[in-house]
Amino acid sequence: MKGVANIAKPPVFRITLAQFIVLLPLSLLLGAWNINLGYSALCGGLVAILPQAYFAAQTFRYSGARSARVIARSSYTGEVVKFLLNAVGFAAIFILLQPVSGAAVFAMYLLMMAIQITGSWWLLRRASTKSVLT
């Protein structure tokens, strides 16, 4: 269509893939050393990854200026559900898993969040350099 900008959706699921690529081997390595650390780390990582993946799916489900209201609404909904999934995830870990290593849960959660932030920064930086070049 002439005059219509075709903006590609950002590849946010690459960040999720990168998180899994780090989480799984690290959890297995920790699990080989101490099973409690391994499953605690795995659960902490999943609490970071799964709600964020849901949020990304909700936020980038629609595109285009005509969908601005729907995009905003799905983004807000995604953020609320993401928050609730985080809260339920942490509650489930500390209620259902015994014994659990709180340090491993939170360390892996923070590592996954660091990957998320770094990946988002990289995608935004890459997108801004592309828009300047075109």
Q: Three-state SS for 10?
A: coil
Q: What is the pLDDT of residue 27?
A: 97
- Model confidence, pTM: 0.82
Tell me how far CA of residue 69 lies from CA of 66, 72, 75, in angstroms.
Answer: 8, 5, 10
Res. 64: pLDDT tops 50: yes
Res. 4: pLDDT tops 60: no
Range 60-87 average pLDDT:
82
Query: Taking the mean position of all CA atoms in its chain, how far away is CA 26?
Result: 17
Q: What is the pLDDT of residue 72?
A: 80
* pLDDT digit string, tens, across residues 41-52: 999 999 999 999
Q: What is the pLDDT of residue 45?
A: 98
Q: Give the C-alpha separation, 11 to 34, whole Å.
A: 35
